[in-house]
Amino acid sequence: MNNMKTLTIIALLASLTGKSVLAQSSFQNLNFEQADPISAGNPDYPNYVTVASALPDWTVTTVAGQQTEISFNDPSTGEEAVVLIGPGNNFGLVPLDGNYSVLLQGTYPPGYAAISQTGLIPAGTQSLTFEAEQVLNPPTGSLELEIGDQVVPFSAVGTGANYTLYGANISAWDGDTEQLMFTALQDSSSQNNWELDDIKFSTTVLTPEPNMVALSAIGVLLFGARKWFARRS
């Protein structure tokens, strides 16, 4: 009887432990809708809120290091920054989807702004998609996606009313626990602003949108082939 009780207790503890590990290891708040911005109490920057309340489960870093406060609806005009975009914005910015999006502002080399989170990439994952758009200034810099310590290429796979849907092949990390990071980089003297939302893991193998240069090249080849066949007939 005692052995039976012991086995039951062990099984229960293992079950609870397993659930806890699973909950802690999965990615959270990938659409930023868990935001509940709380003032950081900074009299010099009244629009600053705590990272913990604005971006639960995410880490914010800039060239100055890890940040504990970010701006809410108040983009930077010069320095690198991460900004929560939500209701009541007065800068003409609206969330790409839902109530909240994140604005990454990289500026003046080596300035950058990034958000990151470590979690389990679900088993069977083939791709990662996200909504993003360059805003405020003309496009002057790049957005970088990293998994672990590797930069992952991505391309447009669709469009929405106010964003481009991007996708990346991440099948190499299927089932792995890795850090996911998005960074706004800048390699010129102006600011680089990317609004980001709705990050999703998918079992779908993505097909990028047709490249217009490639389509033009195919058209030229087909036109040339048609003329060649016409001459031989």
The predicted-structure confidence for 3-27, as pLDDT tens digits, reads as follows 444 434 333 333 434 433 344 489 9
What is the Cα–Cα distance from 145 to 114, expressed in whole angstroms?
10
Its pTM stands at: 0.79
pLDDT band per the 50, 70, 90 thresholds, residue 229: very low
170, 152 contact by CB (below 8 A): yes
To the nearest whole percent, how much of the chain has pLDDT over 70?
Answer: 77
The pLDDT tens digits of the residues spanning 180-208 come to 999 999 877 678 999 999 999 999 998 65
177, 119 contact by CB (below 8 A): yes
Name, in order, each residue with C-beta under 8 angstroms of 185's C-beta and a sequence gap of 6 or more.
Answer: 106, 112, 141, 142, 143, 144, 192
Q: Please name every residue paired with 104 in a beta bridge, in sequence order, or none if there are none.
A: 82, 194
Instruction: Report how far Cα 233 is from the mean position of its chain's Cα atoms.
Output: 55
Domains of the chain: 28-216 (2.60.120.260)
